[in-house]
Structure 1
Amino acid sequence: MWLILAFLSATLLGFYDSFKKKALQDNAVATVLFLNTLFSTLIFAPFIIISYSSAYLDGTIFHVASGGWEVHKWIILKSIIVLSSWTFGYLGMKHVPLTIYGPINATRPVLVLLGAILVYGEQLNAWQWTGVLLAVASFFMLSRSSRKEGISFRHNRWIWFIVLGAVLGAVSGLYDKYLMNPQGLGLDRMIVQSWYNFYQMIMMGIVLAVIHHNDSNANGGKKKNFFRAIVDGLHSNGLTTIIMISVFLSAADFVYFYALSLPGAMISIVSMVRRGSVVVSFLFGAAFFHEKNLKSKAVDLALVLLGMIFLWIGGK
């Protein structure tokens, strides 16, 4: 059951990336980020309210544990890390084809492993080192393929934004291990997932408010309702697309956490399967965004996936 849920989570993540690309094509990154965190917060708000006001969800997978500042300060830090990762990732995705973004982002498990060596003193075996080398090789091959589209990995800042977003995403993964591992803080998964979106929404709300204030001053002090300005700034179907981003992301993460809670679930396998989301986003890039140079990119993608298989074998 947990393996099926892992594949479901990967599929949902693939749709999340695809809708994210669509939303970013025509809309500002700050707007997409704010609305994404807003809708994600609204999705989990009922679970928070019901859990805190009644015992109806007690003992269920939807129950949100309570916690004071000693808990929430760690969740706020996670929000900062994730929001930073998303900001760089969104900026990069807006300016780079999805079929390039996906394979780069799929190398995140490699970064997590390398981070585990530095932070937790973990040791890699031969299988895992082979997976790391394959991922590095795929990155260089992808850089060669992207030159056909006029994208230089060395000089293109959007590529570096994607890489930085992936690195921060790996930091978030390592931090999650500390947050939710019984040997670390042992926090409840639902309290982390429910509240970190809320804190991200507050942060992005402040950013957008500053942008809105500056825009008003630039327009001679003409004031416009904050939310009206956001909605008016969206292009056709922008709101619907962003709602789909939030729905698919929230569902993917929820299924992921639920899969890990089932007996016998192996986090190494679940994490690797989730990176398979790149296959879905790659297909979307080919079919709906009509991206180019697909044959050579497919070879690069296959190398990334092969590296993930080696990492999985090494982690068994």
Structure 2
Amino acid sequence: MWLLLGALSALLLGIYDVAKKVSLQKNAVIPVLFSSIVISCLILSPLPVLSHYLPDTMKGTLLYVPPMDGRAHFYILLKSLLVLSSWLFGYFAMKHLPITIVTPIEATRPLWTLLGALVIFSERLSPYQWIGVSVTLISFYLFSMVGKKEGVVFHNNKWVFFIILAALTGAASGLYDKFLMREFNRVGVQVYYLFYQAIIMGIITLFLWYPKRKTSTPFQWRYSIIGISVFLTLADFVYFFALSDPDAMISLLSTVRRAGVVVSFSIGAFVFREKNIKVKFICLAGVITGTLILLLGK
């Protein structure tokens, strides 16, 4: 069941990536991110309120948010900082790079999660799964070769560096999620980590972006920003539910979740009319093949 939920989360993430690309084109990154987080908070804000005033009713649902102590809020705040770092790097990279390059690089995130899971949670992979890891890494290298054709030289392009940092911090967040789901209520984690992110991004927007707004890329409101919030909120809800399963393996779940790259890549190819699609598709097929080997190797 948790693998099927991971696949659903992947589909939602793919649509989320497309909404993000549409929102960021010729737009200011920081207010787009801030707006999407605030909307996500508004979507989830009724849950803690209803859980507080109607606890008997909410306890029988998947949406109950129990009271959480200072220890829980401290760990959730750390989650907010980690995710926000990944998002900031990822949003800037998405704005300046083709989506057909960004999303496949992000799809390598499970590899870094995998390495951490081996060390921290003592998860073990079969020889077939190690083959899957190797195929994915080779595909990532081929993507770097394709990028050169479009003027994106991986070793000296800061936006490529940003998306790699986004993948690394996102992988760290994935490992941290496994700990959080073992210790705390999953819906509470999702609600409050967004709440803390809204506060942090509000400060960043007010003091870093707003004073310089007239000399930088102007902010344009787009309805696709609502799409960012809706699809990410749903993707996270399904993902946290899957991760709360005691049998869920974070290394495999994170791999399945990044398969949403197929959705975003396809739309990037046909809607945004990006270049070198055939070669990129071969590289993407390598990422997908590596993912399938990881899953079948279980």
Query: What TM-score, normalized to structure 2?
Result: 0.92
Higher radius of gyration, 1 or 2: 1
The Cα shift of 1:36 comes to 1.2
Match of 1:275 in 2: 258
Q: Which residue of 2 aligns with 1:243?
A: 226
Task: Determine if contact 2:9/2:238 at 8 Å carries over to the other structure.
Answer: yes
Q: Distance in 2 between matches of 1:133 and 1:250?
A: 32
CA separation in 2, counterparts of 1:107 and 1:34? 26
Matches within 5 A, 1:1-316: 4-55=4-55, 56-181=57-182, 186-211=183-208, 214-215=211-212, 233-235=218-220, 238-260=221-243, 270-314=253-297, 316=298
Q: 3-state SS of the aligned residue for 1:86?
A: helix
1:21-66: CA deviation from partner (whole Å, max 9, x where unpaired): 1111122111111111101111110011111122221121011121
Counterpart contact for 2:21–2:94, Cα < 8 Å: yes
User: Match for 1:192: what amino acid?
Assistant: V
So what's the TM-score if we normalise by structure 1?
0.87
Letter in 2 for 1:108: R
Distance 2:2 2:167 in 1: 26
Gaps spanning 5+ residues in structure 1: where? Answer: 220-231
Kindly indicate whether the alpha-carbon contact (under 8 Å) linking 2:117 and 2:250 is maintained by their aligned counterparts in 1. no
Give the stretch that moved more between structures: 172-181 or 295-304: 172-181
Identity among equivalent positions (%) equals 49
- Does the C-alpha gap of structure 1 residues 262 and 70 become closer, same or farther in structure 2, counting only changes over 3 Å? closer
Question: How far is the alpha carbon of 1:6 from its aligned partner?
Answer: 3.4
Is the 2:132–2:291 Cα contact (8 Å) retained in structure 1?
Answer: yes
Provide the C-alpha distance between the structure 1 equivalents of 2:4 and 2:166, rounded to a whole number of angstroms: 28
How many matched pairs? 296
Whether the 8 Å CA contact 2:10–2:259 is kept in 1: the answer is yes
Measured after TM superposition, the shift of residue 285 of structure 1 is: 0.3
Contact conserved, 1:11 with 1:277, CA < 8 A, in 2?
Answer: yes
Question: C-alpha separation between the residues in 1 aligned to 2:246 and 2:170?
Answer: 27
CA distance in 1, matches of 2:113, 2:8: 22
Alignment check: 8 A CA contact 1:268 1:312 kept: no
Distance in 1, Cα, partners of 2:7 & 2:252: 10
Retained in 1: the 8 A contact 2:174–2:254?
no
